[in-house]
C-alpha cells in the first residue's frame, strides 16, 4: 500500500556544489559546497542573515542557484520537474499565519499535491499517506479539528505531517522551534530525531545552539553566505567558531546526562 516500502532504499544524500545566489546585487550565498547525509538530523546554524533560509530554499529547489547545482542521490535537482522534486524533498517553512477554518486533515492532505493530477481529487493512497503522517506526528486524533485553533507546537506537528505526506527522502525545516514553548521545542526536536533515525535525511535551521547540540549529530555553520565549519556537531561548535560567527564568548561543557556538548555563554 505505502509506496515507500516498495522502493529500494535511497540514500537521501543532498549535496550543494559551488552554490551561489544573490538578490538585487547582494550576495546571499557564495560558492558554497556541502554534502548532507541521512543519519542523525543536521543542524543549519548561523546568525540572522547568515543565509540559512536561502540555503534551505536552494536545497529544496524552490530557489534556483545563480550558479552551481544541488544534487539529490546523483540527480541534478534542476533536471527534475517541480512535481518530482516535491515527491523527494519537503520543506517546512517558518510559520505563516492562517486564520481560515481549514481542517487539519485537509492541511495534511496538501502534502499529497505533488502526487495528484490537475483535476483529480485525492486517491485512496493519498488518504492513507495523510492518515499515516498524522499518526507519525502523534496527532491522529486531531484530523477534524480546525488548524487555526491548535497550539503552536501542534501546528508545527501538522506542518511536519504535511511534509511527511509528501513521503520525501529529505525533510528541510526553517527554524521549526521558533516561538514554541520549551516543551513543544523538545517535542518537535524529538520527532525530527525519530524521523532521522528511521532513515529520512533531516536538515533544520536552528537558532538555539543547545537544542541543536542535544538533538543533531551533524551541523553546518554559516556566516555571510559561506560555510565556517561543517561536520559532527561537537567539532562545529567550539568557542572559536561561536565567537567568529555570533561575536559572543562561550565555553563548551559536557551535558551531564547525554554527554553531548552544552554551550554556556559569558
Partner 1 sequence: MRALHSQAGALPHPVLISPDPESTYRTRKRRLTLLLLLLLAIMLLSLATAAAVGPTYISPAEVIAVVAEKFGAAGPDPSKQVQNAIMWELRLPRVVTAAVVGAGLAVGGVVMQGLTRNPLADPYLLGVSSGASLAAVSVLLLGVALLLPLAAFAGALAAMAIALGLASSSGRLSTTRTVLAGLAVSSLASSLTSFVIFWTAQGDSYREVLSWLMGSLSGSTWSSAGIAVVGFLLAGVPILLTGRMLDAFAFGDSAASSLGLNPARIRWAMMGAVALLTGCMVAVSGALGFVGLVIPHVVRLLAGAGHRTVLPLSALTGAVFLIWADTVARSVLSPREIPVGVITALVGAPAFAFLIWRQKKGS
Residues at the interface with partner 1 (CB under 8 A): 57, 60, 62, 81-87, 89-91, 93, 96, 98-107, 110-111, 113-114, 116, 118-119, 121, 127-128, 130-131, 134, 140-141, 143-144, 146, 149, 159, 166
- Rank residues 21 and 211 by Cβ distance to partner 1 and give the closer one: 21
**Measured on CA atoms in the order 116, 120, 123, 127, is the torsion positive or negative?**
positive
Residue 151, CA distances (Å) to 12, 82, 142, 146, 202 in order: 32, 32, 12, 11, 23
Q: At what angle do helices 182-197 and 152-165 cross, to 10 degrees?
A: 20
* Separation of alpha carbons 41 and 212, rounded Å: 9
Joined grid coordinates for residue 246: 555570533
* Separation of alpha carbons 226 and 245, rounded Å: 11
In angstroms, give the least distance from the CB of 102 to partner 1. 5
Exposed/middle/buried for 152, CB within 10 Å: 0-12, 13-18, 19+? Answer: middle
Exposed/middle/buried for 66, CB within 10 Å: 0-12, 13-18, 19+? Answer: middle
Who contacts 228 (Cβ-Cβ below 8 Å, separation ≥6)?
Answer: 46, 221, 222, 241, 244, 245
Secondary structure (3-state) at 24: coil
Q: At what angle do helices 124-136 and 152-165 cross, to 10 degrees?
A: 140
- Rank residues 31 and 106 by Cβ distance to partner 1 and give the closer one: 106
In angstroms, give the least distance from the CB of 110 to partner 1. 6
Beta bridge partners of 226: 223
In angstroms, give the least distance from the CB of 210 to partner 1. 28
How many residues belong to the chain?
A: 266
Amino acid at each position: 500500500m505505502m509506496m515507500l516500502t516498495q522502493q529500494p532504499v535511497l540514500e537521501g544524500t543532498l549535496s550543494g556544489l559551488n552554490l551561489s545566489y544573490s538578490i538585487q546585487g547582494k550576495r546571499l550565498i557564495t560558492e558554497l559546497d556541502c554534502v548532507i547525509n541521512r543519519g542523525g538530523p543536521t543542524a543549519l546554524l548561523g546568525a540572522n542573515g547568515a543565509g540559512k533560509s536561502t540555503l534551505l530554499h536552494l536545497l529544496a529547489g524552490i530557489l534556483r542557484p545563480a550558479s552551481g547545482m544541488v544534487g539529490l542521490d546523483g540527480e541534478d535537482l534542476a533536471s527534475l520537474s517541480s512535481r518530482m522534486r516535491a515527491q523527494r524533498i519537503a520543506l517546512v517553512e517558518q510559520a505563516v499565519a492562517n486564520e481560515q477554518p481549514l481542517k487539519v486533515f485537509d492541511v495534511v492532505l496538501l502534502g499529497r499535491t505533488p502526487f495528484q493530477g490537475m483535476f483529480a481529487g485525492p486517491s485512496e493512497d493519498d488518504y492513507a499517506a495523510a492518515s499515516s503522517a498524522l499518526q507519525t506526528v502523534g496527532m491522529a486524533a486531531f484530523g477534524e479539528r480546525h488548524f487555526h485553533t491548535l497550539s503552536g507546537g501542534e501546528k508545527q506537528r501538522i506542518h511536519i505531517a504535511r511534509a511527511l505526506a509528501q513521503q520525501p527522502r529529505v525533510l528541510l525545516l526553517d527554524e521549526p522551534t521558533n516561538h514554541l514553548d520549551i516543551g513543544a521545542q523538545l517535542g518537535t526536536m524529538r520527532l525530527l530525531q525519530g524521523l532521522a533515525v528511521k532513515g529520512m535525511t533531516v536538515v533544520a535551521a536552528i537558532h538555539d545552539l543547545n537544542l541543536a547540540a542535544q538533538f543533531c549529530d551533524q551541523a553546518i555553520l554559516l556566516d555571510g553566505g559561506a560555510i565556517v565549519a561543517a561536520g559532527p556537531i561537537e567539532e562545529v561548535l567550539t568557542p572559536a567558531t561561536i565567537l567568529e560567527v555570533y561575536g559572543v564568548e562561550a565555553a563548551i561543557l559536557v551535558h551531564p546526562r547525554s554527554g553531548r556538548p552544552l554551550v554556556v555563554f559569558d
